[in-house]
Amino acid sequence: MTDDFRIRVYGHAWAQDLLRRALQHGATRHAYLFAGPEHIGKTTLARAFAQALTCENLAGEDGLGACGRCRSCRLAAEGMHPDHRLFAPAGNQLRIDQIREVVREAALSPVESRYKVFIITEFERANVNAANALLKTLEEPSATTRIILVSHQPSGLLDTIISRCQLLRMRPLPESEVVRALQERLGLEEPDARRLARLSNGRIGRAFSLAEDPESWQSYNQRIQEMQAILAYSPAQRIAYAQALEKHKQLEIILQEWLLWWRDVLVIQNRGQALIVNQDHLDALTDLARSIPGPQIRRFVDAIMTTAAYLRKNVNRQLAMEALLLKAPHRE
Among 73, 130, 168, 303, binds Zn ion (CB under 5 A): 73
Supply the minimum distance, in Å, between the C-beta of residue 60 and Zn ion. Answer: 9
For Zn ion, give the closer residue by CB, 66 or 181: 66
For Zn ion, give the closer residue by CB, 50 or 148: 50
Total binding residues toward Zn ion, as defined by CB under 5 A? 5
Render 31-80 in DSSP notation, one character per residue: EEEEE-STTSSHHHHHHHHHHHHH-TT---SSTT---S-SHHHHHHHTT-
What is the rounded distance in angstroms from the CA atom of residue 16 to the CA atom of residue 276?
Answer: 34
Q: If phi over 0 gives left and psi between -120 and 50 gives alpha, with beta otherwise, what is residue 41? A: left
For Zn ion, give the closer residue by CB, 97 or 112: 112
Other residues' Cβ atoms within 10 Å of the Cβ of residue 60: 15
* Residue 274: half-sphere exposure toward Cβ, Cα within 13 Å: 13
DSSP character at residue 120: E
For Zn ion, give the closer residue by CB, 31 or 58: 58
Among 67, 77, 277, 285, binds Zn ion (CB under 5 A): 67
Q: Which stretch binds Zn ion (CB under 5 A): 72-80, 186-194, 200-208, 308-316?
A: 72-80
Q: Which helix (H) or strand (E) holds 181?
A: helix 175-186
- Contact in structure between 320 and 303 (CB atoms under 8 Å): no
Supply the minimum distance, in Å, between the C-beta of residue 67 and Zn ion. Answer: 4
Q: Which stretch binds Zn ion (CB under 5 A): 8-16, 73-81, 170-178, 282-290?
A: 73-81
Supply the minimum distance, in Å, between the C-beta of residue 32 and Zn ion. Answer: 20
What is the rounded distance in angstroms from the CA atom of residue 236 to the CA atom of residue 288?
Answer: 23
Supply the minimum distance, in Å, between the C-beta of residue 116 and Zn ion. Answer: 17
Supply the minimum distance, in Å, between the C-beta of residue 29 and Zn ion. Answer: 21
Supply the minimum distance, in Å, between the C-beta of residue 81 and Zn ion. Answer: 11
- Contact in structure between 71 and 56 (CB atoms under 8 Å): yes
- Contact in structure between 147 and 33 (CB atoms under 8 Å): no
For Zn ion, give the closer residue by CB, 66 or 303: 66
Rounded to 5°, the CA angle 195-201-204 comes to: 90
Q: Which helix (H) or strand (E) holds 118?
A: strand 116-120
Supply the minimum distance, in Å, between the C-beta of residue 43 and Zn ion. Answer: 20
Among 18, 24, 38, 70, binds Zn ion (CB under 5 A): 70
In the range 37-66, which residues lie near Zn ion by CB under 5 A? 55, 66
For Zn ion, give the closer residue by CB, 20 or 206: 20
For Zn ion, give the closer residue by CB, 73 or 276: 73
What is the rounded distance in angstroms from the CA atom of residue 312 to the CA atom of residue 205?
Answer: 20
Helix/strand/coil for 116: strand
Q: Which amino acid is at 321?
A: M
For Zn ion, give the closer residue by CB, 77 or 328: 77
Supply the minimum distance, in Å, between the C-beta of residue 150 and Zn ion. Answer: 23
Q: Which residues bind Zn ion (CB under 5 A)?
A: 55, 66-67, 70, 73
